[in-house]
Amino acid sequence: MTNFSFIFPGQGSQAVGMMADFNDHSLIRSTFNEASQILNVDFWKMATEPNEEIHQTIHTQPILLTAGIATWRVWQSKTDRLPNYLAGHSLGEYTALVASNAMEFKDALMLVKYRAEIMQKAVPEGVGAMAAILGMPDSDVMDTCMEARENEVVEAVNFNSPGQVVIAGNILAVARAIEIAKTKGAKRAILLPVSVPSHCSLMQKASEELKEYLTNITIKKPNIPVIHNVDVMEHHDANEIKGALSKQLCHPVRWVDTIEKIALNKISDIAECGPGKVLTGLTKRISAELKGAALINEGAIDEFKALIQ
């Protein structure tokens, strides 16, 4: 039998119509209805009708968690095969923890909504920014950030794939880093359409608030190992998991290391469980050994199920 892993997407994978290819599957709808009742927001309407709210962090985080778990439930309805490992990019780590039965869906929804609120509160809109630096070695991106700092914050925060690093910090420092990166030979250096500079040290206060909030959340030992972004390790103890989640908010997402660790554990196939194909594209650039698939509709789930039998 094939060893396989599931990975769950984070912010940036949301889009109106993102669940349309499931053709109104009852498990997709029921999961969205459950989330809508818990948080008193019509997430199905947000996912299906033109709106800008889907891109507001406070809505983006719960809706992506919901989409990932809805897709996971469709998978579970078709097979009892469980992945050997789970991981999620930033917010997707929470989806992975729900899928591993470490956290209740309801608790995770309330947690990611709170996470979004404290992230936005920590850095008011217009103060922070994020940018993608493409076609530049990691070390050069970090040197660029050092050069652009000038007593402000700008740091490499998402190591997404070789030649794709996201930086975050104060808006002027990020702008300086973009210009320096261009002069140093980056293929592209582009500002991202986000209002919160995630995973940088400007999120330190939010990290502390999240740590406090997590004391009231029940977390159990995962029944599937979850590899965490912040230290590329699997944790089984509730306090260690809570520590990894709070640290993640103000430390880089080590996605390249995460995928490489999955590949080293004799995994041959990896499926992106949730909307879009962002992580599937990154996987191709990180590892030649891993075969990636995006579970964007029921047909894709059936194909992947047949592949790993």
Q: How far is CA 151 from CA 53, 145, 146, 154, 170, in A?
A: 34, 11, 10, 10, 10
* Token pair recorded at residue 207: 């990290």
- Round to whole Å and give the CA distance between 303 and 53: 33
Among 30, 72, 23, 27, CA closest to 48: 23
CA angle 141, 286, 176 (to 5 degrees): 15
Alpha helix ranges (H) inside 249-297: 255-264, 278-286
Segment holding 4, helix H or strand E = strand 4-8
Q: Is 199 a catalytic residue?
A: yes
Query: Residue 17: how many CB atoms within 10 A of its CB?
Result: 11
Query: Can 30 be counted among the known catalytic residues?
Result: no
Question: What residues form DSSP beta bridges with 4?
Answer: 269
The tokens of 238 are what?
């509730």
The active-site residue, picked from 25, 59, 89, 199, is 199
The first and second tokens of residue 305, run together, are 């199920």
| 291-294 vs 128-134, strand pairing mode | unpaired
CA 223 to chain centre: 20
Q: Which residues contact 25 (CB under 8 A, 6 or more apart)?
A: 74, 298
Which of 90, 100, 198, 246 is catalytic? The answer is 90
The rounded distance, in Å, linking the Cα atoms of 136 and 188 is 9
Residues belonging to the active site? 90, 199
